[in-house]
């Protein structure tokens, strides 16, 4: 498996990412993630839609919560042809609890807790801590990557405006 040493930092400490670096033009890797109802969701479940994939380390941290709230707010303005997926290794129960408490209804929460395959496939699994690095990926209706922002300091927020603009361009 590809290891990318010092690809990101976590509170200033360099971390290694497992998996290849995703690039614009790449086909989006398929995935099998777990939804809040414990069903399996794959890339094909969102076929024909532009997908904003917001990858976060843990929904139980302030930055991840802020990011999810921000994308939930933006979702209404994007229309039915765009879906926002937030992916973490949190359990589906923890994700569901957060969404219920915060009124998050526009973002689809998906968990990589079961087999931890999403992280290496998308190149965002942090080797040292087993969490996912913060990254925003936009995937077009044909499942091609059109935008990638790996947030170099995992504790920082992504560029929301750039991701939203990329999703609108992919329509």
CB 91 within 8 A of CB 113: yes
Q: What is the DSSP string of 17-69?
A: EESPPP-TTSBPPP-EEE-TTS-EEEGGGGTTSEEEEEE-S-TTSHHHHHHHH
Q: Which of 7, 52, 64, 154 is an active site residue?
A: 64
- Of the candidates 66, 49, 55, the one whose C-alpha atom is nearest the C-alpha of residue 149 is 55
CB 130 within 8 A of CB 98: no
**99 flagged as catalytic:** no
Residue 28 CA to residue 7 CA, distance in Å, equals 20
Residues belonging to the active site: 64
């Amino acid at each position: 498996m590809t290891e990318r040493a010092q690809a990101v930092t976590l509170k200033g400490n360099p971390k290694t990412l497992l998996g290849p670096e995703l690039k614009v033009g790449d086909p989006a890797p398929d995935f099998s993630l777990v939804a809040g109802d414990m069903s399996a969701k794959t890339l094909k479940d969102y076929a024909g839609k532009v997908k904003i994939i917001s990858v976060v380390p843990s929904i139980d941290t302030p930055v991840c919560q802020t990011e999810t709230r921000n994308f939930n707010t933006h979702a209404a303005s994007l229309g039915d042809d765009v879906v926002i997926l937030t992916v973490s290794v949190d359990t589906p129960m923890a994700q569901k609890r957060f969404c219920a408490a915060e009124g998050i209804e526009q973002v689809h929460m998906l968990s990589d807790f079961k087999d931890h395959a999403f992280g290496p496939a998308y190149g965002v699994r942090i080797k040292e801590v087993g969490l996912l690095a913060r990254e925003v990926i936009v995937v077009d209706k044909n499942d091609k990557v059109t935008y990638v922002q790996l947030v170099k300091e995992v504790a920082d927020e992504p560029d929301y405006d750039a991701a939203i603009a990329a999703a609108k361009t992919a329509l």
